[in-house]
Structure 1
Amino acid sequence: MQFNAKCWTRPRAVLAVAMIFLTGCEGGSFDTAPSACPPVVEYTPAEQARVAAELAVLPEGAVIPEWLSDYAVLRKQAQACR
């Protein structure tokens, strides 16, 4: 049995279409330089007071305060990165 090599290669048009779709996914602009520092969300005093009130009513041993502590460390690191 003899195989035809042409049957085993993908047509160039398929590769071209694939490249068009893959490059079309990028929606950003290349005009600005990327930043290695993540943005830090600013919270209003009212939002901070609400979070403090909600934390105060959590049951003993809740995991959320520990997670918020980790989040605070990440925020400080992101602010120092600027």
Structure 2
Amino acid sequence: MMFNAGCWKRRLAALTIATISLSGCAAVSSDGGGPGTCPPVVEYSREFQARAAEELALLPENSAAVEMLGDYAVMREQARACG
């Protein structure tokens, strides 16, 4: 394990929490559906986000789940920008 692995995980956890928190500001389209409609962005409580960050910090380095969460954060940002 690298010396700075803990620091890297904390940064990723902070980035994930920031992304999730910012996605709560997403605007909802009022057109009601159809092609090109933005998907809804689920809002998470601060307590739930803190719990997720703690669990994320426990994952091993190079975890597939960590990579998937990064992709999920990007998709949330895209959905938020869609509206």
TM-score by length of 1: 0.57
4+ long deviations beyond 2 Å: none
Aligned residue number for residue 48 of structure 2: 47
Number of aligned residue pairs: 51
Higher helix proportion: 2
Aligned-partner residue type, residue 66 of structure 1? E
Once the two structures are TM-superposed, the CA of residue 38 in structure 1 deviates from its matched residue by: 0.2
Distance 1:33 1:41 in 2: 17
What is the root-mean-square deviation of aligned Cα atoms in Å?
1.4
Higher-Rg structure is 1
Residues 44, 33 of structure 1: alpha-carbon distance in 2 compared, 3 angstrom cutoff: closer
Aligned residue number for residue 38 of structure 2: 37
Residues 33, 70 of structure 1: alpha-carbon distance in 2 compared, 3 angstrom cutoff: same
TM-score by length of 2: 0.56
Distance 1:53 1:33 in 2: 37
